Structure 1
Amino acid sequence: MPGFAWEAAAAGSGFGSVAGLGVGLGLRPGLALGLDAGFEVRLDFGSAAPALFGRARELDLLERAAETAWRCGRLVPALISGDAGAGKTALAEVLAYRLGACGWTPAWGRSPEHEGASAGRPWSRVVAALTAVGVPEPAAVGGIEGSATTRFGAHRAAAAYVTGAAGRGPLLLVFDDLHRAGEETLALLTALVAEAVAGPVLLVGTYRASEVTPELTGLLAEFARADPTRVYAGALSEEATAELVRNTLMRDEDVEATAVRVIHRRSAGNPFFARELARLYESEGSAALAAVPTGARDVIRHRVARLPESARTVLRRAAVLGRDIDLDVLISALDDEELVLDA
């Protein structure tokens, strides 16, 4: 899992107990109660908690879902959506940090961006993370990439494996970037929710709201039956953007108000773009805020390069029209309504 080493024990944390540690971190009280004294807190306090700004409400909703999973002893699904760069992964990381402090075991599976990776990679990474903390490996009953019959058996086995692992203590399973997930991973998640896994499990999936595939649409429909907790990572407020800028620049004092307003306006409250603009401001001053930061430019080029040529043609013309685009004007400029609507 990115950014974490789950090795320290609660006794060395300075809070004296798992419950005390959770309360000390400001976690919801229900999550810090009822845990057996034998639970190990696999949290490395040598590294600081991931920084998160303007997401208190979203984090509270996810912690409420975890509390429900703990108190009811069942799997509870949760979905984190938002635009690229909105901080979906960061939100899940902070959740993992805080739940880990209360004895939860996090396991992380990310859908790879590059083609050619195994379709079952996210699940294999989750299993590897659980195995690393002492959960026995699941019995080999076939992969999630085989025939329908094989997949059915594999899904039942996966549900039984998660139930067994949750019997050792509460689990946080994060499946990151579901907009890139293959059919096999999405079918597995559907099965885990449908199989009614016993034991405290919070199953979190993150995805880009603007890149929902037909396959992911099917998963979201199946998840809807289980009444998942839904969290949308929207634009940051100007106040939260100011906090992010100060953190990025490692400053205790306030950053120039005019610069913060420009960064918030140009980034539209997107944490990734705001962070890149803050670094540009730090290195080149306020005048440079009219430019596109190098990091943001690289990401945009990468994403645009993956689009079909027809979509790139529409984007190039739309860029000339400015920030707010009138669809009729764009269609008139390209003289091709179907091309614009398809893009």
Structure 2
Amino acid sequence: MPFLIVALLIGLVVSITFAVTLGSVEIQPSTVWKIALSHLPLVHPWIEADWSKGEQTIIWEIRFPRILLGAVVGAGLSVVGVAIQSLVRNSLADPYILGVSSGASTGATLVILFGAFSMYGQYALSFGAFTGSLVSILLVFALSRIGGQNSTVRLLMAGIAISAILSAITSLIIFSAPNEHGIRSVLFWMSGSLAGGKWEYLTIPTLIVAICLIVLLAQYRSLNALLLGEEAAGTLGINTVQFRKQLLVITALLTGVIVSISGAIGFVGLMMPHIVRVIVGSDHRRVLPVSALFGAIFLIWADVIARLAFAPEELPIGIITALCGGPFFIWLMLRSSYSFGGSGR
């Protein structure tokens, strides 16, 4: 396990380095880290500034914050995928598939086009997305449990229904908006993009992802017990009702913050946890950090493809993740078992 973590950390650094170098302007990997290290007060005097002003702007102001944002968003989506799959005890669960991202998009669209939640100032977009994601996950979870315990089919049907309703509401909001430029921005943002990555946008997502990851790691025994079922977890001393409420808030918070900064990026939270469980097993003490690192690396390279595939035009990153995640989801559905407890089909 320590070897795997170290290998993934090295892979993350290598991915960041080469992702920054790739683009219309060719840049050497050594230049990337010289410029990055030159911004550290203790290291700055020892770095010889042998790069151009253009390279400084491209690396530090444009590419570096975008790549780091991709790493944070990828890690966050993977962590929220682990949380929501544990919450519903099903490996098919994902914020995008279950409509949680649609709820976050609805809340964020209200903020962008109509200035909703303006009383929260610069945090209005995050608050709007969080509110939308929390409402949607509560609706999906409640709807899937009507008439008894939630099953995979009921859960997916509830997610599809709520997602369709919220998507329709979002479309209605966009149709009603008077600002044509704002509409174009929202439509591109809804497909997922890291184009708006700036240093000032990194602080809140990074803190939220780190805090939620630490909280979930501290509760890894409860997450493991939850996979056995509510009754089994209760016999192990877990207050399942309270713990599920915590997971609901964490899931909504992570999804809301991530969607507010990058738009709706699907399937990362589905693919990464499932792949990781095949490699390291179901113990959340391993699954959580490895999923975060896998997700960070995956989204960095997905963004590279989105930037370069049709350069100088840029694809929404959600298209790339959907092209990877769609076939993966179909394969997962066709497997003989896709629920943790064995009774979710």
Q: One fold, TM greater than 0.5?
A: no
User: TM-score, structure 2 length as denominator?
Assistant: 0.22
Q: Which structure dedicates a bigger proportion of its chain to strand?
A: 1
Using CA pairs under 8 Å that are at least 6 residues apart, name the structure with larger relative contact order, 1 or 2: 2
> Greater CA radius of gyration, 1 or 2?
1
User: TM-score, structure 1 length as denominator?
Assistant: 0.22
